[in-house]
Structure 1
Amino acid sequence: MNTTIGIKAVRSLGDILYDNDKRTFSVSHRKALSIHMPSSHFHSTYEIYYLLAGKRDIFIKDRTIVIEAGDIVIIPPNILHRTTNAKIPEHERLIVNIHEKEMILAKNSSPDILQPLFEKEYILIRSSQLDQVSIQTLAQQIILEMREAKPGFEMYALTLTLQFLIICCRHVKQNSPEPPVFPSPMHERISEIVRYINDHYSEKLSLHLLAEKFYVSPYYLSRCFKEATGFTFVEYLNSIRVKEAKKLLVHSSLKVNLIAKKVGFGSVTHFGRVFKQVTGHAPLFYKMDK
């Protein structure tokens, strides 16, 4: 049975799930025999995904990368991503989400130290490239702070997270990134199709149209798309459209019906239903939040 301790902190069977009231800092640690990630996954925070044990496939923006124990992936805000099925499902991972406003201390004291975070679509650091003792020590300290929840634990965990990020950014500044390799030719093919969707999401798209364009059968495309990205075709297309709509809601003065049309939805009613399903809020929530 889950037990709630502190502010939105849940610990069960050794798992930790913490999210502060400001939605600027969250920590999730779990040992699992399967994946556990929302169907659509993009947010306004930076995500640090540190794999302590096992092997995972992660789809980020337009490609699938394979990570192993000790690898770190840092994903900027509003980049669509999802953990997909791996051949060996058993794994242990630490995920920390941190908003840019929580990085002010580090940015003020050393303005350029976190610069790689703001320049890249994602950062991938292999276990062989880092001092694993330092990284593992910081990760275990974060987990311990969240588990014990002593006075000031959130601030303590935040400072540990900043140290974690500084080590990663130092590495990126000093080393050339290792280009990710596609797990298979199928993944490379699906990546090409995903890039097309990312560029043409506002147009009328369908599984059959894409299958015809890329000279594959609809069945093959549907099966391989799900395997490579973790999303069905419709889930992915809706998530991309909602992500772009959210940007327009926050940063433009366009009315909701015009935004719905601009990102490819045929009706504002359908747009509203899908938007709430993906984000948990109605579109006007983001208009009022401006």
Structure 2
Amino acid sequence: MEPFRKPFEVGSSFPFDFVYRDRKHWQTELPDHLHDWYELVYIYEGKGTFFIDQTFYDMKPGDLFIIPGNTIHRSFPDKEEPVTSTAIFFSTLFVQTASFGDTFSYLRCFDHAKKHKRYKFEPTLQEQLKLERLIDELELEQREQQPGYRQAILLQLEHILLLMNRRIIASSREYAKADGPLIGPLWMRSILHYIDEHPESPLGLSILAQMAAVTPAHFSRVFKQLTGMNVTDYVTAKRIIRAKELLLASDENIRLIADACGFESLPHFHRMFKKVTGQTPAAYKKATPADQA
């Protein structure tokens, strides 16, 4: 199954969305998906597994997941004890940090998570209570829509991000060195890392299975079981994510970007890019930041 591109209103004057205390059932949970907006997921109860980027996490009450834009992710709620969670979505344009002579950014915790491949934050009990209070206030503002409610929502979100940044960045050494999740076999984690670092390489099922020293059938079965995607769709999504980064960060010719990301031809690149993002590579590159949010 290809990653689902969660739709958000393009160019919205209020680039924010919110799903409050939602019970996640394994039958109805979204497939693997990605979106340009940033996302926070707070777990109230239940258990399951969360796949983010190339990492598998256990979900438990009190966990907060930090998901930067353009990151493949999917939750797998437990069948017997499904997860109840709140999800917060917002564009980077929604959170603008005023400059007061320092380098603080509300989005620094997302950059930190992406850099260290650590997308799970485990707040203390006191921090959990504070987060839940701030989320409840977000929901109240969204529901009642009193005058200034949009400004109030922004303030509550900034408060949440401030709390996260102070905790995570202050303890960045311990956070970065923390033991990673141990879900899945070691060869799976190695292969996911290899795909992430070498999108331009041949990444077919038989090649990856040979690298993992397992049969293609076993590789395919375990890969689909743990990530929810087949190998081809996962590799394509990773290559598209890399292409989006190169389109925005460089002036390279689109054909060269297609080659650098491992696409077999320029038409194939155009076809897959539009299928995943809804835009052609040229349109995405020319779009304003507001259009990409």
TM-score (norm 1): 0.81
1:251–1:131 distance in 2 versus 1, CA, 3 Å: closer
Opposite residue 159 of structure 1, the aligned amino acid is L
Instruction: Determine the structure 1 residue equivalent to 2:287.
Output: 289
1:147–1:173 distance in 2 versus 1, CA, 3 Å: same
Identity fraction in percent? 26
The Cα shift of 1:211 comes to 0.7
The Cα shift of 1:242 comes to 0.4
Secondary structure in structure 2 of the residue aligned to 1:26: strand
Query: Equivalent of 1:164, from 160, 164, 189?
Result: 160
CA RMSD of aligned residues (A): 2.8
Secondary structure in structure 1 of the residue aligned to 2:33: coil
Instruction: Determine the structure 2 residue equivalent to 1:148.
Output: 144
The Cα shift of 1:36 comes to 2.9
Query: Equivalent of 1:269, from 258, 267, 270?
Result: 267
| Number of aligned residues | 272
Opposite residue 139 of structure 2, the aligned amino acid is I
The Cα shift of 1:220 comes to 1.2
Pair 1:52 & 2:57 matched: no
Opposite residue 236 of structure 1, the aligned amino acid is Y
The Cα shift of 1:46 comes to 2.9
Instruction: Determine the structure 2 residue equivalent to 1:120.
Output: 113
What do the CA deviations read for 1:155-184 (whole angstroms, capped 9, x no partner)? Answer: 211111111111122222444328354343
Q: 2: CA distance between counterparts of 1:180 and 1:84? A: 22
238-247 or 59-68, which deviates more: 59-68
Secondary structure in structure 2 of the residue aligned to 1:95: strand
Q: 1: CA distance between counterparts of 2:77 and 2:220? A: 16
Structure-to-structure mapping, 1:1-290, within 5 angstroms: 21-22=12-13, 24-29=15-20, 30-34=22-26, 36-37=29-30, 39-43=32-36, 45-84=37-76, 86-88=78-80, 90-105=82-97, 108=100, 111-112=103-104, 114=106, 115-121=108-114, 122-128=118-124, 130-175=126-171, 176-177=174-175, 179-186=178-185, 188-289=186-287
Opposite residue 27 of structure 1, the aligned amino acid is F
Structure 1 gap ranges (5+)? 1-16
TM-score (norm 2): 0.81
Contact 2:9 2:15 in 1 (8 A): no
What do the CA deviations read for 1:159-216 (whole angstroms, capped 9, x no partner)? Answer: 1111111112222244432835434352x33111111111221122210111112110
1:216–1:21 distance in 2 versus 1, CA, 3 Å: same
Opposite residue 286 of structure 1, the aligned amino acid is Y
The Cα shift of 1:276 comes to 1.7
1:38–1:276 distance in 2 versus 1, CA, 3 Å: farther
Q: 2: CA distance between counterparts of 1:237 and 1:18? A: 27
Contact 1:130 1:171 in 2 (8 A): no
Q: 1: CA distance between counterparts of 2:235 and 2:154? A: 35
What do the CA deviations read for 1:47-67 (whole angstroms, capped 9, x no partner)? Answer: 211112222322222210112
Opposite residue 129 of structure 2, the aligned amino acid is V
1:148–1:88 distance in 2 versus 1, CA, 3 Å: farther
The higher relative CO (CA closer than 8 Å, separation ≥ 6) is in 2
The Cα shift of 1:109 comes to 8.8
1:185–1:239 distance in 2 versus 1, CA, 3 Å: closer
1:146–1:79 distance in 2 versus 1, CA, 3 Å: same
1:116–1:57 distance in 2 versus 1, CA, 3 Å: same
Structure 2 gap ranges (5+)? 1-7, 289-293
Contact 2:67 2:119 in 1 (8 A): yes
Secondary structure in structure 1 of the residue aligned to 2:244: helix
